[in-house]
Amino acid sequence: MKITLLKWGTVSLALLVSAAGATTALAQDQSSSQSSPAAATPAPEPKKADPSIAQRKENQQDRIANGVKNGQLTAGETANLEKKEAAINKETRTDRAANGGKLTSAEKAQVNRQQNQMSKQIYADKHNANTAHYGNNKVGQRRENQQDRIAQGIKSGQLTPGETAKLEKQQQGINKQVASDRKANGGTLTASEKKQVNKEQEQNQASRNIYKKKHNAATQPNAKKP
């Protein structure tokens, strides 16, 4: 009989200890959750800053380069876009020089408005009906190669917008001459016309101009080594 009472006493003591431990653990959990509410609600992500003036210029040039590369932009369209981009860059440099190398808030806003207009123009030119057709012949292949070299120069920053505008204006002149010659000859070029475009003053001169402008001292601020 004594042994039975001893056993029941031991069991009761164990139950009391277990209940006390559970109560302590529950109190600690409640205290922990109440003392650190921030852990349950993550902090909101910081708002991304607007792209800088330099970054927007680089983005625009990349879009133009892609349009030149895939034929969405004709030489004339590219020349016009790069002429406008060169004007924005010139205005930006003038404003910086007048303000100790910086742009005022008003000047930054103005440049961004101009780049917004440029962005819309790039999109419109890349998605209109005008595309660059080169043809499966030596003349067409030469024209395509020149455009690929110009696109690479724009992408790498070796060609400034002003240089690109001049090169594309030259390509536009060659393209008009080829189109005019084809129209006068039922859609084909004579042997002498092909020779003039490829080997005399046309594409050879354009090729030299592309090389010189890609390897001179004038580069975009983001220029990469070729």
Question: Is 43 a member of any domain?
Answer: no
Quote the pLDDT of residue 36.
Answer: 46
Quote the pLDDT of residue 198.
Answer: 67
In the chain, which residues have pLDDT < 70? 1-51, 198-201, 222-226
Question: Is 45 a member of any domain?
Answer: no
Question: Is 10 a member of any domain?
Answer: no
How many separate domains does the chain show?
Answer: 1
pTM of the model: 0.71
State the Cα–Cα distance between residues 185 and 191, nearest whole angstrom. Answer: 11
Question: Is 17 a member of any domain?
Answer: no
Alpha-helical (H) ranges within 43-200 are 53-70, 75-98, 105-126, 138-156, 161-184, 191-199
Q: Which domain holds residue 140?
A: 53-214
Question: Is 160 a member of any domain?
Answer: yes
Quote the pLDDT of residue 133.
Answer: 83
